[in-house]
Amino acid sequence: MPSPDSPVPDRRRPLVVAIDGPAASGKSSTAKWVARELGLRHVDSGSLYRAATAAALRTGVSPSNWTEASVLKAAVGIRLEPGETTFHPYLGDEDLEEELRGKDVTANVSLVAKMPKVRAWVNERVREAAEGHAVVVDGRDMGTAVFPKARVKIFLIADPWERARRRLVQRLQRAPEDEEIAAEVEALVQRDLKDEAQTQQAADAILLDTTFLTQEEQVERIVAMARQALKGPPES
Ligand code: CDP
Note the pLDDT tens digit of each residue in 49-107. Answer: 999 999 999 999 999 999 999 999 999 999 999 988 899 999 999 999 889 999 999 99
pLDDT of residue 228: 93
If you count them, how many residues does the chain have? 236
CATH architecture type of domain 15-40+135-230: 3-Layer(aba) Sandwich (3.40)
pTM above 0.95, yes or no: no
Spans of all domains in the chain: 15-40+135-230, 41-133
With a 6 Å cutoff on the Cβ, whether 140 touches ligand 1 is yes
With a 6 Å cutoff on the Cβ, whether 50 touches ligand 1 is yes
Which residue's C-alpha comes closest to atom 20 of ligand 1? 113
Note the pLDDT tens digit of each residue in 176-234. Answer: 999 999 999 999 999 999 999 999 999 999 999 999 999 999 999 999 999 999 887 64
Q: Does the fold of domain 41-133 match that of domain 15-40+135-230?
A: yes
Residue 128 predicted with pLDDT over 80? yes
CATH level 3 topology of 41-133 = Rossmann fold (3.40.50)
Task: Give distance in angstroms: CA of 106 to centre of ligand 1.
Answer: 9
- What DSSP letter does each residue of 150-161 carry, written as one string? -SEEEEEE--HH
pLDDT of residue 186: 96
Task: Give distance in angstroms: CA of 218 to centre of ligand 1.
Answer: 20
Q: For residues 80 and 82, what is the distance between their CA atoms, to the nearest angstrom?
A: 6
Angle subtended at Cα 110 by Cα 51 and Cα 96, rounded to the nearest 5 degrees: 15
Strands 152-157 and 135-139: unpaired
